[in-house]
Amino acid sequence: MKAVRVHEYHRQPVIEDVPEPKARNPFDVVVKVGGAGVCRTDLHVIEEQWAAISGVRLPYTLGHENAGWVAEVGSAVSNVAVGDTVILHPTPTCGLCHACRAGDDMHCSDNAFPGIDRDGGMAEYLLTSARACIKLDPGTRPQDVAALADAGITAYHAVRKAAPLLYPGTTCVVNGAGGLGHIGIQSLMALTATRIVVVDRNADALKLAEQLGAEETVLADGSHVAAVQDLTSGNGAEVVLDFVAEQGAQHDAFAMTRRGGSHFVIGYGDNIDIPTIEIISTERNVIGNLVGTYNDLVELMTLAQAGKVTLHTTTYPLDAACEALADLDAGRIRGRAILTP
């Protein structure tokens, strides 16, 4: 089968033939990939940012946002069958540790992360587990929902955590309206009554944000922090969802929170440098977010299949994976890029 493989860090991946995966263990599931999302994390992987954390050995296959059709199942699999349309939770988990039993799947003590620490789904087939599979309506096109498996669940997980803070009369700033941010806006619309203010440096992204329901949009042109302060009577927002968190955006996000507010860090790439006295004197919070739970993905798919959350995508054939990565890196993609093997 064809797969998009990283052979060396800081170099473009290679599209090459590799053996198809097989279901060897009782709960294994092999999925024929119908859509694989292209994420900034893939760029960070190529830049070697994940090497020490993941411990992966090169070469390996990229792709951690995947949906498709079940092609093969292990002997103990009972929740899906060959031919079923599925979206995959990004981290196959053990189901037995404390985190799994508490519903915090992404903190499983024995989890895997296809596309990060082992072969992922930018390929014709992907090996995953029964626990990762969420069965979809058979009429669903995997390419239409694949990015919900990571971009979607990550945005939704952050919004769901922030929702109790976003009662009527509050303001939430969405910092970055790209692949994750545009899903975050829709999740906020579905779960809260907060006023949504979107900040982005791209005018087209702001137009999309307005179409999705943002009450206010602010161009990130150097005066955006002051603009948000003006929109909030000089106070700042109760919550800032930071879908960028690099190139200075992470410090702008913290500056846009009010006293007692919360800065949810969702994007990543640079460090946050905040004097501790500034944190304690204003009682502001910095909250990390990692993917989301299995239940988060189930809830998100319910919203998606009801038409309340829609992915805005650009599709590429698998052979054009390097083009898709380049377009993402250059900011030429609105929404999410999807590879269709």
β-sheet bridge partners, residue 126: 31
pLDDT confidence of residue 107: 93
Which residues does residue 28 pair with via DSSP β-bridges, in sequence order?
Answer: 129
Q: Write out pLDDT tens, residues 36-46.
A: 999 989 999 99
pLDDT in tens, 267-322: 988 899 999 999 999 999 999 999 999 999 999 999 998 999 988 889 999 999 99
Long-range contacts of 199-204 (CB under 8 A, 24+ apart): 199/173, 199/174, 199/175, 199/224, 199/228, 199/252, 199/256, 200/176, 202/177, 202/178, 202/331, 204/334
- pLDDT category of residue 34 using cuts at 50, 70 and 90: very high
- What's the CA dihedral at 8, 143, 185, 225 to 10 degrees? 30
Please, what is the average pLDDT of the chain?
Answer: 95
Residues 69 and 142: beta-carbon distance below 8 Å:
yes
Residue 331 pLDDT grade (very low, low, confident, very high; cuts 50, 70, 90): confident
Domains, the chain, ordered by start: 2-150+291-340 (3.90.180.10), 154-288 (3.40.50.720)
- pLDDT on residue 311: 86
Asked if pLDDT for residue 1 goes beyond 80, the answer is yes
Average pLDDT over residues 4-12: 97
- pLDDT category at 135 given cuts 50, 70, 90 is very high
List of residues 6+ apart from 146 with CB closer than 8 A = 34, 35, 36, 37, 65, 66, 67, 87, 338
Tens of pLDDT, residue by residue over 189-240, are 999 999 999 999 999 999 999 999 999 999 999 999 999 999 999 999 999 9
